[in-house]
């Protein structure tokens, strides 16, 4: 099984915190669609004939696409790739784009899952982020999607923004639970270098994020959703039983995927590649029949470190027996030794051969993973020959 990600690099306006590649000028949209269709054809062998089980339209704002645009892209993908009849097909949508007409058109072209960028139900919070929608739209769009027959819904929420009180955050989470949303992706506000928010904080026009507030609201989220029956299956993701995001879960499992569009990333099991983050250069290169990407072949250490990083983020955790089978007993021993201090301080727990982050350990996931990483040139000598080659 494999996945395809399509990056739609357009937005109505720039959210202050966002560092994804996008343009607020829609003038080049038609040219982009033409270039994307060319890339689909040129990349038809990338997944080596594997069945495509998930298709994800992200951005940017894919909900800006017209029905004809989306239909054309879907048709090209189905023509050039083997897409499973049961494929999960997700479209990211902003509340202000959601209407009965749009919902109907998305269903007609095969979209069966929506990921809605709610972020907050509180007006002042949305204004602080410079979101294009308001609090009323944040609520009504969910009812519209449900009335149109979309049962596989996810919403994005952001916590830890300056001025967001714990009680307000509780009310946001309770609102989602009350709306019977089966999936949530929840992120702490991150101040990315070069974003509008980063510059405003540097100019003292915005308050910086408070790590203590973010930690407190994360644990508040974990406990409330756990009580409501949601599965915390990845650091930032929660789902009702059976409603995990198949596309995102495939990333964490190391499944092959193809990224299409400017700045999109791909992985074929051996190497990673990433497209140029420029609509202009993307279109120019494809007009000449050239795929506009750079790539790197992953080393053995990089493969292992990626497994450590992604597996620790999941509910299942890091399987030390898998590490032993793939990389040898020496690698398992090194991992056991470096993880001991986190088991002792309660940030990691052991469940058979699996190492799992505890409730509090999830607050330190990135740092713990980085501390468990293998340094270049430090792989033990007993790595199986088949893996070395």
Non-local (6+) Cβ contacts of 101 within 8 A are: none
Using the predicted structure, report yes or no on whether residue 350 has a pLDDT greater than 70: yes
H-run or E-run covering 104: helix 100-108
Torsional sign, CA 316, 318, 321, 322: positive
Q: How many whole angstroms from its chain centre is CA 129?
A: 19
pLDDT digits (tens, 9 = 90+) for 170-217: 999 999 999 999 999 999 988 778 877 778 878 877 888 899 999 999
pLDDT digits (tens, 9 = 90+) for 64-85: 999 999 999 999 999 999 999 9
Non-local (6+) Cβ contacts of 362 within 8 A are: 218, 222, 235
Using the predicted structure, report yes or no on whether residue 314 has a pLDDT greater than 60: yes
Q: Any idea which residue has 């493969």 for tokens? A: 303
Pick from 88, 28, 37, 98: nearest CA to 62:
98
Q: Are 188 and 164 in contact (CB under 8 A)?
A: no
Reported pTM: 0.93
């Amino acid at each position: 099984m494999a996945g395809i990600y399509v990056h739609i690099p357009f937005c109505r306006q720039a959210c202050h915190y966002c560092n994804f590649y996008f343009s607020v000028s829609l003038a080049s949209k038609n040219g982009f669609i033409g270039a994307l269709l060319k890339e689909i054809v040129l990349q038809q062998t990338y997944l080596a004939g594997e069945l495509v089980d998930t298709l994800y339209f992200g951005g940017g704002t894919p909900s800006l696409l017209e029905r004809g645009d989306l239909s054309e892209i879907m048709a090209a993908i189905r023509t050039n790739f083997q897409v499973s009849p049961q494929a999960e097909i997700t479209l990211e949508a902003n509340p202000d784009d959601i209407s009965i007409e749009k919902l109907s058109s998305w269903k007609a072209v095969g979209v069966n899952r929506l990921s809605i960028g709610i972020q907050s139900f509180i007006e002042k919070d949305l204004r602080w982020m410079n979101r294009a929608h308001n609090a009323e739209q944040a609520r009504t769009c969910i009812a519209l999607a449900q009335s149109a027959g979309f049962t596989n819904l996810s919403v994005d929420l952001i916590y830890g923004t300056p001025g967001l009180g714990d009680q307000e955050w509780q009310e946001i989470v309770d609102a989602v639970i009350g709306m019977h949303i089966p999936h949530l992706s929840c992120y702490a506000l991150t101040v990315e270098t070069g974003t509008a928010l980063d510059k405003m904080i540097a100019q003292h026009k915005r308050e910086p994020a408070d790590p203590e507030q973010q930690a407190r609201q994360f644990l508040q989220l974990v406990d409330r959703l756990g009580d409501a029956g949601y599965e915390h299956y990845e650091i930032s993701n929660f789902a009702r039983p059976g409603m995990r995001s198949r596309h995102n879960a495939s990333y964490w499992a190391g499944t092959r995927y193809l990224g299409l569009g400017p700045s999109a990333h791909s992985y074929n099991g051996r190497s990673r590649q990433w497209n140029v983050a420029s609509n202009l250069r993307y279109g120019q290169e494809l007009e000449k029949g050239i795929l506009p990407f750079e790539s790197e072949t992953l080393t053995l250490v990089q493969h292992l470190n990626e497994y450590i990083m992604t597996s620790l983020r999941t509910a299942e955790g890091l399987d030390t027996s898998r590490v032993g089978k793939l990389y040898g007993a020496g690698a398992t021993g090194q991992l056991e030794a470096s993880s001991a201090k986190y088991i002792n301080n309660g940030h990691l727990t052991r469940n058979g051969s699996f190492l799992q982050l505890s409730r509090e350990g999830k607050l330190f996931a990135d740092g713990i993973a980085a501390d468990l990483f293998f340094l270049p040139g430090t792989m033990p000598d007993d790595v199986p020959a088949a893996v070395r080659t």
